[in-house]
A and B are shown apart, each in its own frame.
Chain A
């Protein structure tokens, strides 16, 4: 794994294989995916370890991530397959740990699993 924003978190994994558009499809105060076509539609991010391939869409999505943290609706941490600037900068400002998983690590993570993420440990 590669560490983008350092930190520690413990929680249940919420995983999707669909990219997330933080501006277009996430409610910035509740952290629920509002896009009905999305696999995680209706699922709140709050207090999860959110696992998704990468962010897409508007650059303003970074504000959504910051807003989620301010509204106490943010995930404990995020794990992506590829990095994108919107998610990286949103997590950096909001102090949400963010790591990029290798293909193999990413495949191993399953929704519902309890996990501890410690970016100092160097592995997932």
Chain B
């Protein structure tokens, strides 16, 4: 990768240790993704905020880094472990709360906007089409590239952080408009958000950098986010096109493939609790939920995860009334994935409509998962 003179100097440590580390990361990922140079970016979205996932090593790294480092571009962050407003309702250790607070404060010290959301594309104004950004959080990167008309690598926690600190990112293949060499044909009728999540999970496993999907005309928000979430969970793929790319290899996603993904992720007949939101729910989805729940109440605990700004908006409009009346706890700043609020010592299984949530609940939280679409959840888990 070609570097400018100034970039070379930074890499050699002439602009301090932070810049040296940041450029070392950018050069490594540039080499890894065949980038010829770095490009300026206008927005970075960071992952690596939850103490559950980054641990003591991560907490200490950020505390040290934030003593001197400052972000150079608008920078937003992923959800953390819990909602500070409701922390007393849960049996969390003081250590967890204190370490999470330290992580939150480290990011704020660096000048990061405390958004704590995995759907930055829904809660911030989108820059103009074609803008270069640097998004970690796989669902957000895939969404930005495929639906949001932005350009980003499928960044990692450290590469997005390096971008935030330098204002740059490698110009890798994903930022270019190359056509994918694989088309997945959607062959399942009456697809709901769960089917789309399973399609994403399936596509992520077999696709390379980018993939075409044919047979899907329109997707509602829920399905689109679920597709992005599923795709980001299973593979490296960072972009999809809703078209049939001529000359590409074709693979069908039929009932059989859907069943295989379902069988892989569905490990329980029922859930002890319900969790909704991975990715977090946006305003449109809270509206849907509030109308679906009209006059009905959950028969078990239901946790609804949405960004804080969305919760505030929904509260003003009045959508939260029906959702809370139905027995849901609305939580901000955190998400289904990897939240310590789902405690495997107390809960064996979780019902969710999220493919991404299902994967991480099982693999990281260690609970079994009962997968159902939202309409099925409302039908079967409420009365």
Chain A: residues with CB nearer than 8 A to chain B? 2-5, 19, 21, 23-25, 28-29, 34-35, 54-64, 66-67, 69-71, 82-93, 98, 100
Cα of A66 to Cα of B24 in the assembled complex, Å: 14
- Decide: A59 and B363 in contact? CB cutoff 8 A: no
Q: For residue B363, which residue of chain A has the nearest CB?
A: A24
Cα of A86 to Cα of B158 in the assembled complex, Å: 8
Chain B: residues with CB nearer than 8 A to chain A? 21, 24-25, 27-29, 31-33, 47-48, 50, 53-58, 60-61, 136-138, 141, 153-160, 162, 204, 232-236, 359-360, 363-364
Cα of A10 to Cα of B154 in the assembled complex, Å: 32
- Decide: B158 and A89 in contact? CB cutoff 8 A: yes
Query: In the assembled complex, how far is the CB of residue B202 from the closest CB belonging to chain A, in whole angstroms?
Result: 13
Query: In the assembled complex, how far is the CB of residue B112 from the closest CB belonging to chain A, in whole angstroms?
Result: 16
- Decide: A23 and B53 in contact? CB cutoff 8 A: yes
By a CB distance below 8 angstroms, the chain B residues around A91 are 28
Cα of A84 to Cα of B8 in the assembled complex, Å: 23
By a CB distance below 8 angstroms, the chain B residues around A85 are 29, 32-33, 153-156, 159
Cα of A35 to Cα of B264 in the assembled complex, Å: 13
Cα of A66 to Cα of B31 in the assembled complex, Å: 19
Query: In the assembled complex, how far is the CB of residue B332 from the closest CB belonging to chain A, in whole angstroms?
Result: 20
By a CB distance below 8 angstroms, the chain B residues around A67 are 54-58
- Decide: B31 and A59 in contact? CB cutoff 8 A: no
- Decide: A4 and B31 in contact? CB cutoff 8 A: yes
Residue from B47, B54, B58, B363 in contact with A21 in the complex, judged by beta carbons closer than 8 Å: B363
Cα of A71 to Cα of B204 in the assembled complex, Å: 31
Query: In the assembled complex, how far is the CB of residue A104 from the closest CB belonging to chain B, in whole angstroms?
Result: 20
Cα of A56 to Cα of B156 in the assembled complex, Å: 11
Using a Cβ cutoff of 8 Å, how many contacts connect chains A and B?
136
Q: DSSP majority for the A interface?
A: mixed
Can you report 8 residue pairs joining A to B where beta carbons are below 8 Å apart?
A59-B48, A59-B137, A60-B136, A60-B156, A63-B55, A84-B236, A89-B157, A92-B29
By a CB distance below 8 angstroms, the chain A residues around B162 are 89
Cα of A85 to Cα of B57 in the assembled complex, Å: 20
Q: For residue B153, which residue of chain A has the nearest CB?
A: A85
Cα of A66 to Cα of B158 in the assembled complex, Å: 10
- Decide: B21 and A93 in contact? CB cutoff 8 A: yes
Q: For residue A84, which residue of chain B has the nearest CB?
A: B236
Query: In the assembled complex, how far is the CB of residue B260 from the closest CB belonging to chain A, in whole angstroms?
Result: 13
If the complex has contacts A88-B28, A92-B28, are A58 and B155 also in contact, measured as CB distance less than 8 A? no
Cα of A116 to Cα of B8 in the assembled complex, Å: 30
- Decide: B54 and A56 in contact? CB cutoff 8 A: no
By a CB distance below 8 angstroms, the chain A residues around B50 are 60
Cα of A63 to Cα of B25 in the assembled complex, Å: 13
Residue from A34, A35, A57, A62 in contact with B157 in the complex, judged by beta carbons closer than 8 Å: A62
Cα of A104 to Cα of B55 in the assembled complex, Å: 38
By a CB distance below 8 angstroms, the chain B residues around A66 are 57-58, 61, 158
- Decide: B236 and A82 in contact? CB cutoff 8 A: yes
If the complex has contacts A23-B53, A90-B156, A92-B158, are A59 and B136 also in contact, measured as CB distance less than 8 A? yes
- Decide: A71 and B363 in contact? CB cutoff 8 A: no
By a CB distance below 8 angstroms, the chain B residues around A93 are 21, 24-25, 158
- Decide: B24 and A24 in contact? CB cutoff 8 A: no
Cα of A21 to Cα of B24 in the assembled complex, Å: 23
Residue from B137, B158, B359 in contact with A62 in the complex, judged by beta carbons closer than 8 Å: B158
- Best-buried of B53, B158, B234 by chain A (most CB within 10 Å): B158
By a CB distance below 8 angstroms, the chain A residues around B234 are 56-57
- Decide: A28 and B157 in contact? CB cutoff 8 A: no
Q: For residue A56, which residue of chain B has the nearest CB?
A: B235
- Best-buried of A3, A28, A59, A89 by chain B (most CB within 10 Å): A59
Q: For residue B140, which residue of chain A has the nearest CB?
A: A59
Cα of A5 to Cα of B57 in the assembled complex, Å: 21
- Decide: B55 and A58 in contact? CB cutoff 8 A: no
Cα of A34 to Cα of B54 in the assembled complex, Å: 17
By a CB distance below 8 angstroms, the chain B residues around A64 are 53
